[in-house]
Structure 1
Amino acid sequence: MFTYQKSVEEQISPEKLKLLQEKKLRKQVQYMYQNSPLYASKLDEAGIHPMEIETLEDLQKLPFTEKFEIRKSQEDTSNLGLHQCIDSNKIIRIHSSSGTTGRPTYVGITKKDSAVWTDIVSRVYYTAGVRLHHKVIFAMGLSFFVGGLPLKDGIENLGATFIPIGTGASERLVTTSLHLKPDVLLCTPSYANYLADYIRSIGMNPRDLGFKLIGTGGEPGGGLLEVKQRIEQDWGARVFEAMGNADMAPVLFSECPAGDGMHFVAPDYVICELIDPDTGKVKPFEDGNEGELVYTAIDRECVPLLRFRTRDLISIKTGKCSCGSTSFRIRCIGRTDDMLIIRGVNIFPSAIKDVVSSFYPRTTGDIQILLEQPGPTVEPPLQIKVEHGINSEKDLSMLKKELEETLRAKLMFRANVQLVPEGTLPRFEMKTKYVKEIY
């Protein structure tokens, strides 16, 4: 039975944690150099011998690993690529990334890797407040996607009751919830909104299902103030956000009941770095700093990665949280590969959604950005479809004007907002696609 109660940082001193990380890092780098053709080549080309990597500061000597390298590594092999470090007969399961930013990559785990993931996932949901007595409705897929079966393992390890509804089963979710009285719902923020609309369409109130805790992940949104407030208002439940990465671990960060950012819960398994996405220069983990998140595995057998660029742009929170944890916390601003540049201003779809959601119920919060040319540079005005609320028909010209003015005031770009009726834009039970290419 799972017994984790405190974060690793609270169990040992920062000095001892650093020593543990460095010990694991040295072992991991040597292991990868000996067993991965990809990393043997990368280190040789960089003129670095594994014995040179002794401290956390030495990480900066290592080259980054990019997503395209992983895809290329898997192109001409029947196994998991040139970064695979273990015999294939020791792989117990294979997962896939979502492929939203290109061809999916495949991720294998050994028994040890699975145990590590289970431990991390248990920490994530314990941090969020999931306990032995909870019944958890899982409204995401238990299929190839990495955010499925590993989450089941971690939640069951906590001793909570896991109810795998999956996707595309809103009617079953409602009837099951009415019968079994679960109190936790795990889904994407988009599906939380989609499901609330569905429940109202059948003459019920989302609060009738009795959820007290809603965990969101899989896409930005759960940490956006307006999006979060709408979900909490619809459901009468506390919303928390969790975040991970398919190539590293399903989840690594979790929001506690204090709601002041997502805590990093796995420093004994993964080392995080913050870098300037343009220069690659390392930035300190200081309060308010922003940058791209970089991961290094230090306890992985099958497909470990060194200095993997996630393309997740985050902001840092430090200092002791009111929950008692001393781990650093983050908010995800967006993805650098989703970013649009309009007259020199960086714009993230999640930020546009947050502004539009602030107009609820005059808008539903659903948006679709229409790209008339390849990004990331876009000439203004940016074309945006926005769903208006049912009772906003008499106010459309004023609503359009207010939306465009607010987007310009808050995000500093000029938009052309096209208002469409509620229910017009596509709904997604998994990751929402905010951008549509029409060129």
Structure 2
Amino acid sequence: MNWPTAAGSDSRPDPDSEYWDERQETRPPGERRDEIIEKIGEQVRYAYDNSEFYREFYSDVDVDPRNITSFEEFEQLPILSSDDIKQEQKEHPPFGRFLCIDEEDIARIYGTSGTTGRPKVFGIGQDDWDRIGEWHAQILWSVGLRPDDRVIITSPFIQYLGSWGALAGVDHLGCTTFPFGAGMEGQTEQAVEWIADLQPDALYGTPSYALYLGETAEERGHDPAEDFDFKVMFFSGEPGASVPSTRRQIETMFDCEVVDQGSMAEMTPWMSNSGCRHLENGMHVWNDIVYTELLDPDTEESLEYGAEGVPTYTHLERTSQPMIRYWSGDITTWERHDETDCECGRTYPTLPKGIYGRADDMLVIRGKNIFPSQIEDQLHALDDYGDEFRIVVEREGALDSLQLVVEVADDAETGPDEFHDLVRQEIKSEVGVTPDVTVVKQGELDRTQFKADRVKDKRELAIDV
């Protein structure tokens, strides 16, 4: 086979076409799997031949990394973790021995924030970046974007790959792009006025930021549903776009469609998990762009459709710093394409609830497994909810307590006591634990211009003496 595919094609479908590449997107899944295993074989061979790390990492496996011909053989390769990357890059800075290309051939450098330890560094060659732009354009086509659309990007243009990946996709698609950014003081107020003047068709950012943008617009006298003209917003970075009540709130606030996207920065093209303009909730898994396995969080064994597990990703056409069997740490469930209620005709598996948590974000309280997205969904479904909340978990004696600080809307029809009791009842019904609830006025809790940080687990700070 021709591996990797040539990068940088400028051809685009007819604007009325549903598909960027109908054969690829609608082919029988068995036929697609045959091509995927060929790509896996080529990718693993390439990484083994060009990366000292992978030669060492695969030194004890019972299969030949230069001749992977079946999924059974592939699944015998070890799992790659975030800690593996950090340790490798610590010992062999800055890129580790993953690079596979000469450093002078790196076109772009990105990285993680390093808020949970040593930041990870990504070196991307130009041919890979061109393919990333083309793949993102193809996926954005399924979202409903077309070359005559105007797109505003409202996430920070820092080392965060989300903004740059979105920009690469909309640029390759031929859209008019406004890389506005986010994070500076007063920038959201400016965004409101720019949007009112320019009337973009689409927005990229995080769900939390979209809600903050809508609140800011209303404070400045705008009705986002009437005064703006968005047809779609596409999001990554946090679970909100597949949290049903949050999704509905954004759709109602802006009178537009909402699409959830995103895998991981390490796995760029990260749009390989993406909703489309027909999908009510969740994301299609474009597994012929980035191959995705769902693995048991404890045994790391492959899971069938319908199970809940950890997405584990493999690049299929990456010549610079390829990731193979990379453990995401996220939690989701998946289903076959013919189990998904979607009219698009694509034959990819689907994550019907999106990525709804991380294994390390799950709160175990009194024997119950609780994801923050469950609480978010219940709160957004309440008419008098004031748009922000915080979760605090503490240990009181031998028992853990779940504490919620929840805003009540300024125009609430229920009183604070009644709202308090309603929140307590709805959350207990959803997660099986009765929370201690504190009700505060709308606007009292800080808003975010990027990803929301709503959870504080004080149990991690407790030290037994």
Change (3 A) 1:116 1:350: same
**Does the Cα contact within 8 Å between 2:101 and 2:319 map onto a contact in 1?**
yes
The residue identity in structure 1 corresponding to 2:363 is L
Say whether residues 1:139 and 2:162 are aligned partners.
Answer: no
Quick one: which of 252, 260, 273 aligns to 1:241? 260
Q: In the alignment, what sits opposite 1:417? A: 437
| Per-residue deviation, 1:15 | 4.2
Written as runs of structure 1 = structure 2, the 5 A alignment for 1:153-168 is 153-168=168-183
Deviation at 1:32, TM superposition (A): 1.6
Q: Which secondary structure does the structure 2 equivalent of 1:282 belong to?
A: coil
Deviation at 1:267, TM superposition (A): 2.9
Instruction: State whether residues 285 and 349 of structure 2, in contact with CA within 8 Å, keep that contact through their aligned partners in structure 1.
Output: no
Q: 1-side partners of 2:27 and 2:410: how far apart? A: 55
The question of 1:368 aligning with 2:383 is answered no
Q: TM-score of the superposition, structure 1-length normalised? A: 0.93
Give the drift of 1:433: 0.7
Task: Tell me which residue corresponds to 1:357.
Answer: 380
> Which of 13, 21, 24 matches 1:6?
21
CA distance in 1, matches of 2:26, 2:455: 44
Whether contact under 8 Å (2:263, 2:272) holds in the other structure is yes
Partner of 2:241: 222
State whether residues 182 and 211 of structure 1, in contact with CA within 8 Å, keep that contact through their aligned partners in structure 2.
Answer: yes
Q: Single out whichever of 43-52 and 228-237 deviates more from structure 2.
A: 43-52
Tell me how far 1:431 sits from its aligned partner.
0.9
How much does 1:394 deviate?
6.3
Per-residue deviation at 1:2?
A: 4.2
For residues 204 and 394 of structure 1, the distance between their equivalents in structure 2, rounded to whole angstroms, comes to: 26
Q: Distance in 2 between matches of 1:372 and 1:343?
A: 11
Deviates more, 1:384-393 or 1:141-150: 384-393
Conserved in 1, the CA contact under 8 Å of 2:388 and 2:407? yes
Long gaps (5+) in structure 2 = 1-9, 14-19
Give 1:81 shift: 0.9
> What letter is aligned with 2:178?
I
Match of residue 228 from structure 2: 209
Distance in 2, Cα, partners of 1:263 & 1:359: 25
Q: Is 2:41 the partner of 1:21?
A: no
Mapped contact 1:131–1:160 kept (Cα < 8 A)? yes
Q: State the distance in 2 between where 1:261 and 1:315 align.
A: 13
State how 1:11-410 maps to structure 2 within 5 Å.
12-51=27-66, 53-99=68-114, 101-168=116-183, 169-207=187-225, 208-249=227-268, 250-264=270-284, 266-284=286-304, 286=305, 288-320=306-338, 321-330=342-351, 331-360=354-383, 362-372=384-394, 379-392=399-412, 395-410=415-430
Aligned partners of 1:174 and 1:209 also within 8 Å: no
Aligned residues: 433
1:82 is paired with a residue whose SS is: helix
TM-score between both structures, scaled by the size of structure 2: 0.88
2:440 partner amino acid: V
Relative distance call for 1:136 and 1:63 in structure 2 (3 A) is same
SS in 1 for 2:210: helix
Contiguous gaps of at least 5 residues in structure 1: none
Deviation at 1:219, TM superposition (A): 0.7
The amino acid across from 2:121 in the alignment is Y
Partner-residue secondary structure (3-state), 1:387: strand
CA contact (8 A) 1:253 1:262 kept: no
CA contact (8 A) 2:279 2:343 kept: no
The range that moved more, 96-105 or 429-438, is 96-105
**Residues 374 and 430, structure 2, Cα contact 8 Å, conserved in 1:** no
Q: Aligned AA for 1:328?
A: P
> Are residues 293 and 300 of structure 1, via their aligned partners in 2, closer, same or farther at CA, if it must alter by over 3 Å?
same
